[in-house]
């Protein structure tokens, strides 16, 4: 899948939500796309200010005293790879005193990768391409003439 924000190739990622059939994340812009969470719709992230965009990373092996942003792909935004890194239910706020400076810098760089016309709620909401559900010949057209 090609990212509609920046044109880079997105990577499919596992999802814990049983309603989501497929989840994709772009490693360049960190834009995400989900298929199946809402029937007939493709869910997509919208650009948001840095203090509202990132989840706090959680893992037993992360150092204490510094909060890291979850960067998808099982890493922190500053690319720290620890066993079991997952997003927590809490926001990561880059302005907090304990925010990792490397995560803060990465967030600034990634936010700059979103084109101005794709920021805010301007990201297009597309319907997925219908899948063929059956094999065989097409049904004959109905006539509605009286």
- Name every residue whose Cβ is closer than 8 Å to that of residue 24 and which is 6 or more positions away in sequence: 1, 10, 11, 12, 13, 32, 33, 34
* CA gap 81, 118 in Å, rounded: 30
Name the residue ranges covered by the structural domains of the chain: 1-45, 48-108
- In the numeric block, which tokens belong to residue 111? 């936010």
Residue 13 burial (C-beta neighbours within 10 Å; 0-12, 13-18, 19+)? middle
Q: Which of 35, 30, 23 is nearest to 6 (CA)?
A: 30
pLDDT in tens, 98-141: 999 999 999 989 888 888 776 665 445 444 444 444 444 444 44
pLDDT in tens, 8-66: 999 998 887 888 888 888 999 888 888 876 666 566 666 676 667 888 999 988 888 99
Annotate 101-111 with b (16+ C-beta within 10 A) or e (fewer): ebbbebbeebb
């Amino acid at each position: 899948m090609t990212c509609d924000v920046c044109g880079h190739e997105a990577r499919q990622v596992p999802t814990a939500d049983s309603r989501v059939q497929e989840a994709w994340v772009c490693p360049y812009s960190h834009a995400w796309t989900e298929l199946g969470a809402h029937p007939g719709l493709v869910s997509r992230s919208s650009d948001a200010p840095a203090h509202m965009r990132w989840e706090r990373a959680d893992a037993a092996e992360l150092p204490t005293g510094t909060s890291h942003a979850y960067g998808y792909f099982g890493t922190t935004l500053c690319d720290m790879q620890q066993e079991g890194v997952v997003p927590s239910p809490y926001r990561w706020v880059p302005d907090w005193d304990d925010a990792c400076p490397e995560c803060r810098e990465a967030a600034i760089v990634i936010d700059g990768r979103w084109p101005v016309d794709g920021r805010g709620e301007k990201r297009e909401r597309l319907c997925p391409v219908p899948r063929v559900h059956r094999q065989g010949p097409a049904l004959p057209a109905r006539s509605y003439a009286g």
